Amino acid sequence: MGLDENYKLVLHVGGEYGNKEESKKRFISRYFSLPSDIKKRIILENDDKIYNIRDVLDICLNLNIPMVLDVHHHICNNNGENLSEHLPSIFSTWKNCTFPPKIHFSSPKSIKEKRNHADYINTEAFVEFLSIAKSLHTSFDVMLEAKCKDLALIKLSNELENVSWIKRINTGEFEII
């Protein structure tokens, strides 16, 4: 695609194969065997079933690579970890990057289908996340994962205008004040 190394490839760690700790070690070992131009592109994301925030953050800190936080995956897969306690460390994994930290945000389709993405973003849950991130005074990008795509962004953008501490810059860009 002709992109330089600043452009990243988001991966999940993979399976646990009966022993999560050994699988994490194997991932780290195999990472070191990759060509350097590939290693420079890899960033990891927590998943909704196996590798939670703590697991992925441990790997990212060990390898000195960025971590993408998927808030929905954290809701589906956590051991009681408090997001606010881990967010500073997650953001710190981006310190040597050209781009700001990346966040994936989606809402569950329903209580029964909590792993599936909803058509739209739950504004209350999104604002709750922003209130956690606000204290860090750090710029970050959010990728919305919603079935209604642009319509979900427009709806959320319009609803965020009602939050006193959020300033709308344009359709998809906001400042937390």
Going by their DSSP bridges, the two strands 173-176 and 166-170 should be labelled as antiparallel
pLDDT at 76: 96
Number of domains within the chain:
1
Within-domain flag for 100: yes
Could you tell me which residues are beta bridge partners of residue 7? none
User: Each residue of 117-130: pLDDT tens digit?
Assistant: 999 999 999 999 99
Range of the domain at 121: 9-176
Torsion over CA of 93, 86, 73 and 154, rounded to 10 degrees? -80
CATH code, 91:
3.20.20.150
Residue 81 located in a structural domain: yes
Q: Is residue 2 part of a domain?
A: no
pTM here is 0.95
Three-class SS of residue 137?
coil
Specify the pLDDT at position 34. 97
pLDDT at residue number 1: 81
**Residue 4, in any domain of the structure:** no
47 pLDDT above the threshold of 90: yes
Rounded Cα–Cα distance for residues 133 and 101 (Å): 11
Partners of 67 in the β-ladder: 44
DSSP three-state, residue 90: helix
- pLDDT per residue as tens digits for the range 130-141: 999 999 999 999
**Average pLDDT score, the chain:** 95
pLDDT of 163 reads 97
